[in-house]
Structure 1
Amino acid sequence: MTELECLPYAVGHADEGVCLLVQMGPYRVLLDCGLEDLSLFKDSSKQAPPADLVLCTHAHPDHARGLLALHRAFPKLPIYASEVTAQLLSLNWLGEDVPMFCHALPWRSPVEFLDGLSAELYPAGHLPGAAALLLTYTTSERPYTLFYTGDFLLSSSRLVEGLPLEELRGLKPDALIVEGTYGTARHPHRRQQENQLAERINQAIAEQQSVLLPTPTLGLGQELLMLLRSHHHFTGRNLDIWVDNTVAAGCDAYLDLLSYFPSAVQNFARHQPLFWDERIRPRVRRLSHEPNNGKTAPQLNHPCIILTHKSANFSQYCHPDTGPWLLLLPQYPGRVDSVESSIVQKLQTSKSLQSQIQAGQLLVDTYLLGDHCDGPGTTQLIHNLRPQHIVFVHGSPTYLSDLTSLEELQNRYHLHSPAAGVRVELPVGETFLQPAAPETHYEGELTELETAIMVTLPDALTSDPRWQNFADTGLVEARWQGEELVLRGLSQRELLSRDSETKVSLSIECCQNCLHYRGQRCWNQASPLFGFKVTPEGYCPAFEFSPSAIEGMLDDAEN
């Protein structure tokens, strides 16, 4: 009999949630329940719950949205989480009368649920209350251990301390279930990401642009608000920050749990309010009522910053009467679409927003504020824990494949990246043949021409979902890395940021000088690029010089 098994109901591919059934000896433990549909559990008998107990790592919807339905279907099934998570769970069902159905567990203290089965919680970073779980099943022969990270972050953010790696070093669990949201990608340090975002917002305010930041109810919105309250670009600045009701509900929930937050956050709150403050600049206020009749509420002075829920109608804020706006969208590395598809669809289908973009009154940009570990952080955790088995979940299949292809992991651990519904046996202390790694190398040809070098690669590359982002602009950057030459696709955002450094001549027929180039997109219906993001250096047969380009050329001629 295999003492350890994992049956993933959902592994967090694309927009699906995470829900994992772990078998430890005779016991079944459900790790998280981010399912929207619980029909997967109907295979069990009518009265039997799908597990002996449920452990929830944190309150984000993709890990917790199915818990209320699960509780209603099986009221006697015990559900456990950290104290903070137990309090925050109700934010997933705003407007509903939600009972307190989740039992709170302490930090760093093993709790025995059933004979020989215990769990211990460690802070995981990522979100207040987020926990990594150490499960132990003890038999007469030996203890079996499984460590589940949930979503984790080693770096500290504004409101959450990072996962305490020192406490876990050398744990040597039999199995590690770890998220791979960002795959092997390497990202700037969290503080650097925050500074880049603060600088972008500061630049917009200096140019008299109001800033709209769509966020989920829990997590990102509160982090942004704390960043704006404490960053040197904004402290003492005569500026209004408005927060809509849905995001404000998450802020209020945080305030009720302030004693559980890091000491630095508690010290900040002793000197000034954590969120709501109309006395100290920048002022933070609730957006207590929605704009009426398409006009912005009278109390909004521009430029300002608004944090609104991602499902809100953006056009109620971005109105021609309120001046220019900058809409900042969070990036989600690992997805085919780097920003949430519902937001993109909203921008594409809203005539009001489209007209604003075409008029140059609404600019759209993205930012990265990572709340998961990047590739080096993930491998750092793995090497410190030193498990026998590693099960990768929560990420795009290609990103998880990148992790299982790492030679430094293949040589030391037994790697698994299961699809939903595929049971994984985790034999302990037995011989295990590592499956062949998926193909990640592509052979091509190199041809030296008189004035250029041509690299030809097989079209199999285009079947990878990442190709779309790599080839977005059709431009690449090459650099040496030791004896290897590395190619990297240039994004629209990077090209635009280089605009200030490298100015295109006004006499060149390119998108930047075109009459129909606005908001990084082509708006000429006669062009095959209509509606698409285009690079400033791009060209199409429907080009027409813009008045500003013509005026600039005349000025150059006079000089």
Structure 2
Amino acid sequence: MSEGYSIVSLDEGESQSELECLPYGVHHDGEGICLLLRMGPHRIMLDCGLPDISPLAKKLKKSARPDNTPLPADIVLVTHAHPDHARGLLALHKTFPLLPIYASVVTCKLLPLNWLDKKSEENRALFQPLELRTTIELKENLTVELFPCGHLPGAVAFLLTYTTSERSYKLLYTGDFFLSNSRLVEGFRLEELRGIELDVLIIEGSYGTARHPHRRNQENQLAERINRAIAEGSSVLMPTPALGLGQELLMLLRSHHHFTGRDIDIWVDGNVAAGCDAYLELMPHLPPSVQNFARHQPLFWDERVRPRVRRLENSQRDNIGKSPCIILTESTTDLSKYCQQQNSSWLILQPEKTEIKAEHYSELGTVESYLLAQHSDGPGTTQLIHNLRPQHVVFVHGSAAYLADLTGLEELQNRYHVHAPEIETLVQLPIGDTFLQPAAPDTNYEGELTQLDTAILITLSEQIKNDPRWQQFADTGLIEARWQGEELVLRGLSPRELLNQNSDRNIWSSLDCCGTCKHQRGQRCWNTASPLYNFKVTLEGYCPAFEREEQ
């Protein structure tokens, strides 16, 4: 996937290209996002989610300030306040206090949530706010314009324009983006950017080429699972990032028909509660529908309207779990401290494709994952690219395998110069020059199918083992197959799924329930005659279409 460029400085005069990008972090293994961009004589740092900023000090350029202080860039632009894009900013400011850091007005208010353990005065006036949809001159012949891009309040895409005597160069950096509307953020409006004659697009590829159900379907499936758990007498524990997803979940729980008016307590703990407080201060910047909701009842904290939403205070912890409730807490918290009640049942729901590692909490209760996407899927990503039609597309923010899937798409290879650089690998972005596109990575694997009397064998090339995803896919040696249109999709069963199925099957072996139904596979119903068809089911559940699995 690397294009083979050597690591070089981004100082002007060392390259024939006006545009270059040197990634210090591309979020392959959770290291965060940090890109150093050169446009002519200007060096722009895009985000700083590095936990260690020491690589930024290796090659310093003397600034244009009177004291000639060496700086790792001329300016810093921050797309939004999530830690993987912002956790290194405080250290960056302390090390280079003269380096200007810009972000949207809302992001400037949310960024201090990344350093709640620091003194408040350390977070003041570190960031310079920029207005939305306004052309702002940052340096001579260099302007920026900010466009809201969904995902999180205050999240923006930066449109940078560098003008020379010959032409203008335009580059758009999306950061994290989401085309769909979510509960608290409006989606990225493509119509605002059409026709800008873009040269370079730096874009995230968090979900690779995966296709997601409609956002409302995702919400309904999650609400249905929580509703079933509450009905079965279980409490629900939801570890989430402190900012963004936690607040989206609260709005879903407060407004979904499964929960409105229900006698349920929703407890919010730790930094998720601090994130809620920060949102309340941003009310004028939230969508009109949210502002209208807040005119009639509190957005988050409400002990009057059911379901009740409360902060979890230390005095209340001993009562948690005595009756079914829902707890939202930060993903880094020790979850065992919530599950202290004897004979209480817990469902731990963790979001898919995050850095949360909750497998070791399986002894506390049932651990499951859910999809409530905060980024655009593969079709949304390609839709944005085709609307903007840049010469170069640079993919960052995603696993190496997912980014390889995107760079290998024929529809992109045939139209654009596609890059997915490794850390500290320079990407030169010549505009208008002849460009030899690197060969697309081979992500298809040939095989053979053999139909026997009692089984079907599928044989694949051993090259598939070279993909880092293979180890997880083949961990248990068991797979599940299902039809998706005319294609057959294979999925590896994880040890956790296998353990849950086996342990629960022993408990309910004598009962008529989903756990012993022949149509239940992978804890999902595949009986088209059942009202639960294609839904994830609890093994103790039951429906009239039950048919016992033959022993």
Cα 1:365–1:79 change in 2 (3 A) is same
Match of 1:463 in 2: 466
**Which 5+ residue runs of structure 1 have no aligned equivalent?**
333-338, 348-352, 357-361, 500-509, 518-533, 538-547, 549-555
Unaligned runs of 5+ in 2: 1-15, 63-68, 510-520, 525-539, 541-547
Q: Residue 434 in 1 paired to residue 448 in 2?
A: no
SS of 2:358's equivalent?
helix
Alignment match of 2:347 (pick from 307, 321, 326): 326
1:382 and 1:266 map into 2 onto residues whose CA distance is: 32
Q: What residue in structure 1 maps to residue 105 of structure 2?
A: 83
Residues 284-343 of structure 1: per-residue CA shift (max 9 Å, x gap): 11112277xxxx4247751111111112221221124361111111111xxxxxx53543
Q: How many residues align?
A: 488
In 2, Cα distance between equivalents of 1:382 and 1:248: 36
Contact 1:511/1:536 (8 A) holds in 2? no
- CA shift, 1:453, in A, is 3.1
Partner in structure 1 of residue 491 of structure 2: 489
* Residue of structure 2 equivalent to 1:297: 318
Preserved CA contact (<8 Å) 1:240 1:301: no
CA distance in structure 2 between the partners assigned to 1:344 and 1:323 by the alignment: 19
Aligned to 1:477: 481
- The one of 32, 55, 63 aligned to 2:47: 32
1:217 Cα deviation after fit: 1.3
Amino acid at match of 1:306: I
Superposition RMSD on alpha carbons, in Å?
2.6
User: How far did 1:468 drift?
Assistant: 3.8
Amino acid at match of 1:201: I
C-alpha displacement of 1:512: 5.3
Q: CA deviation at 1:469?
A: 4.4
From 447, 452, 455, give the equivalent of 1:444. Answer: 447
- Separation in 1, partners of 2:475, 2:82: 31
2:307 pairs, out of 282, 297, 308, with 282
Give 1:172 shift: 2.8
State the identity %. Answer: 60
Decide which of 126, 151, 154 is 1:126's aligned counterpart.
151
Q: 1:35 is paired with a residue of what secondary structure? A: coil
| 2:291 corresponds to | 266
Residues 160 and 322 of structure 1: is their aligned pair in 2 closer, same or farther, counting only changes over 3 Å? farther
CA positional deviation for 1:446: 2.8
**Contact 1:183/1:402 (CA < 8 Å) preserved in 2?**
yes
Q: CA deviation at 1:145?
A: 0.4
**In 2, distance between residues paired with 1:137 and 1:36?**
30
1:472 deviates by 5.2
Distance across 2 between alignment mates of 1:311 and 1:480: 36
TM-score (structure 2 length as normaliser): 0.84
Query: 2 CA distance for matches of 1:163 and 1:458?
Result: 41
Structure 2 equivalent of residue 149 of structure 1: 174
Relative distance call for 1:48 and 1:23 in structure 2 (3 A) is same
Q: Is the 8 A contact 1:365 1:493 kept in 2?
A: no
What's the CA shift string for 1:249-304, capped at 9, x where partnerless?
0000110111111101100001100000111111111112277xxxx424775111
Deviations 1:115-155 (A, max 9, x none): 11011000110011000110000111111000011000000
Q: 1:188 to 1:435 in 2, by over 3 A?
A: same
2:355 & 2:167 partners in 1: Cα distance? 46
CA distance change for structure 1 residues 322 and 84 in 2, over 3 Å: closer, same or farther?
A: farther
Whole-angstrom distance in 2 between the partners of 1:405 and 1:90:
39
Q: Distance in 1 between matches of 2:280 and 2:386?
A: 37
Cα deviations across residues 497-542 of structure 1 (Å, max 9, x unaligned)? x99xxxxxxxxxx76544799xxxxxxxxxxxxxxxx9799xxxxx
Q: Distance in 2 between matches of 1:286 and 1:513?
A: 38
Between 1:96-105 and 1:80-89, the stretch displaced more is: 96-105
Matched with 1:188 is 213
Tell me which residue corresponds to 2:196: 171
* 2:393 matches 1:390: yes
Matching residue within 403, 424, 428 for 2:427? 424
Measured against aligned partners, the alpha-carbon deviations of 1:67-124 in whole angstroms (never above 9, x if no partner) come to: 1111111111111101110000000001212222111111111100111101100011
